[in-house]
Amino acid sequence: MRCAVFIDGNNIFHSARQLGFEVDYSKLLSLLVGRDRELLRAFFYTGVDETADRQRGFLHWMRRNGFRVVQKPVKLDRDGSRKARLEVEIATDMLSYAEKVDLVILVSGDEDFAYPLQALAQKGVRVEVAGFRSAMANKVMDAADRYIELDQLTERFRKEAGGDDDDEFRERL
């Protein structure tokens, strides 16, 4: 089964940080793809602060480790929060791969993805969503063929202290 993985970097980063750990993205990718699937592409979407040198290092590491990084400058919202809003890019890329893969794995619980996931399913693509329960919208789970609750699997993709890119990701936002 050919698959593509789409990781909403901001979503998973903040969820993991709330739980007190950092994600090892290579381990997470291996966990999601498993042994019986062929990975066509792995995408990582994130907002970037153009002044953060450490973040550039992390994104360079991601590219060198098999991820297609899609980035967008972080903007300051009226409420003071900093966001990049990459939902359109993620949805567009998922739909563009509908003819190339049998399975799409989305790592995000953002409710905005419910409709694009339904569209993928209508095209005959199997859909799996992975995320932490605290950040997973019910509509997203309902749109998926399978929900992977990452809360139960954290030991399998938790970053060990002292990894090369520990500080780089911390600098992201």
**pLDDT per residue as tens digits for the range 141-156:** 999 999 999 998 988 9
- The two tokens of residue 108 are 């995000």
pLDDT value at residue 171: 43
Could you report the per-residue pLDDT of 107-118, keeping only the tens digit for each? Answer: 999 999 999 999
Rounded to whole angstroms, the Cα distance separating 106 from 32 reads: 10
The candidate with the shortest Cα–Cα distance to 69, out of 27, 131, 8, 156, is: 8
Q: What's the rounded Cα separation, in Å, for the pair 106 and 121?
A: 13
What is the distance between the alpha carbons of residues 33 and 96, in angstroms, rounded to a whole number? 19
The answer to whether residues 138 and 118 touch, using CB atoms and an 8 Å cutoff, is no
Q: Compute CA distances 37 → 33, 34, 55, 129, whole Å.
A: 6, 6, 31, 16
89, pLDDT greater than 90: yes
Report helix, strand or coil for 73.
strand
Quick: pLDDT tens for 32-60: 999 999 999 999 999 998 777 778 888 99
More confident residue, 76 or 114: 114
Indicate if the pLDDT at residue 169 is higher than 50: no
Which residues fall within 8 angstroms of residue 169, CB to CB, at 6 or more apart?
Answer: 13, 22, 55, 58
Per-residue model confidence (pLDDT) at position 115: 97
